């Protein structure tokens, strides 16, 4: 399926972030009532994240399966994360329906949705828009690619500027009150019993941060939650490399490797958000309570619903 994110002069940044793999596997059967991961979607041997194979989605995962410091395990079949869904095939939509998803949360900004398109979902499901501001990243990167000017692209992205754009973006995931409110709302939906699928454009930054926060709130160790965050690099590697080659072949970018800091997730990006949470609230527990509005009752409901012995 062709991605719809094309400008008159070529690929947009949305396509850079979310191009599907060329030969993604057929979606497996996945029973929404079963708490354990089916054999077809066992944790990845390196990342331990549970990737659910789809035809056109490379970063679709079950957020469960991890051990906690309390001796419990995060339940599978209840919470899912993905990249954006405009390119979901009919088989992908059927697979999502089979998961029993009751709520889809879209963190993309209106500008991203206008370019990338609305989510393609199974009948009866409608995405809930909870836009999380990207600190101008989408506009900056789209402009750089569309310019086709290697001098301008180097000026905007070279010399560590791409990585700095990402760090500045991650800081706002904690500092921006609207973003905090939306992340908190998703956690409350999960605690209330909704079977949630949440996503942004590539399923790695806004989605990655919430995935990390959710796992830590359930008692998953930092090292395991970090490994899950970094799994986007494994699952997205082939698709991202192909997009860079397309940009080079079309002449839009002489040096598409300038995009690598924006295509990847890095420990130092996540560290910026974690440090900001500690700077503002003193501890992760206080960030959950005061920053995201997750009170003791909601935290207990999360643990009850999302973990099992």
Question: Strand 103-106 relative to strand 196-199: parallel, antiparallel, unpaired?
Answer: parallel
Alpha helix stretches (DSSP H) within 23-133: 90-98, 110-116
Q: What is the Cα–Cα distance from 204 to 160, expressed in whole angstroms?
A: 20
Q: What is the Cα–Cα distance from 71 to 69, expressed in whole angstroms?
A: 5
- In the chain, what percentage of residues exceed pLDDT 70? 86
Q: What is the pTM of this model?
A: 0.89
Phi, psi of 61 (to 5 degrees): -140, 155
Residue 172 parent element (H or E): helix 161-175
Helix 137-147 and helix 150-157: axis angle, to 10°?
Answer: 150
Chain segment 96-155, per-residue pLDDT in tens: 999 999 999 999 999 999 999 999 999 999 999 999 999 988 888 889 999 999 999 999
Q: What is the Cα–Cα distance from 266 to 136, expressed in whole angstroms?
A: 19
**CATH number, domain 6-308:** 3.90.190.10
Question: Residue ranges per domain, the chain?
Answer: 6-308
pLDDT in tens, the chain (309 residues): 333 333 323 334 444 444 444 333 333 333 333 333 344 557 887 678 999 999 999 999 999 999 999 999 999 999 999 999 999 999 999 999 999 999 999 999 999 999 999 999 999 999 999 999 999 888 888 899 999 999 999 999 999 999 999 999 999 999 999 999 999 999 999 999 999 999 999 999 999 999 999 999 999 999 999 999 999 999 999 999 999 999 999 999 999 999 999 999 999 999 999 999 999 999 999 999 999 999 999 999 999 999 999
């Amino acid at each position: 399926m062709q991605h719809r994110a094309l400008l008159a002069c070529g690929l947009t940044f949305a396509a850079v972030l979310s191009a599907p793999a060329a030969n993604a596997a057929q979606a497996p059967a996945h029973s929404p009532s079963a708490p354990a991961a089916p054999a077809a979607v066992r944790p990845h041997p390196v990342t331990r994240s549970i990737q659910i194979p789809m035809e056109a989605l490379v970063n679709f995962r079950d957020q469960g399966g991890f051990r906690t410091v309390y001796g419990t395990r995060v339940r599978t079949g209840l919470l899912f994360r993905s990249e954006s869904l405009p390119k979901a095939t009919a088989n992908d939509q059927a697979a999502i329906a089979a998961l029993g998803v009751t709520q889809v949360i879209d963190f993309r900004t209106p500008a991203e949705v206008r370019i990338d398109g609305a989510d393609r979902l199974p009948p009866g499901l409608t995405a809930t828009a909870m836009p999380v501001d990207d600190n101008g990243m989408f506009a900056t990167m789209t402009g750089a690619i569309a310019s086709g000017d290697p001098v301008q692209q180097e000026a905007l992205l070279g010399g560590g500027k791409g990585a700095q754009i990402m760090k500045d973006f991650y800081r706002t995931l904690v500092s921006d009150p609207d973003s905090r409110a939306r992340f908190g709302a998703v956690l409350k939906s999960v605690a209330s019993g909704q079977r949630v699928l949440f996503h942004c454009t590539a399923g790695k930054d806004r989605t990655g941060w919430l995935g990390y926060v959710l796992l830590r709130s359930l008692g998953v160790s930092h090292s395991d939650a970090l490994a899950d965050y970094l799994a986007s690099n494994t699952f997205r590697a082939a698709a991202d490399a192909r997009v860079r080659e397309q940009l080079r072949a079309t002449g839009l970018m002489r040096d598409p490797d300038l995009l690598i800091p924006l295509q990847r997730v890095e420990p130092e990006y996540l560290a910026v958000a974690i440090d900001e949470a500690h700077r503002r609230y003193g501890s992760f527990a206080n960030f959950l309570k005061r920053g995201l509005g997750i009170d003791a009752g909601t935290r207990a409901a999360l643990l009850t619903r999302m973990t099992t012995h």
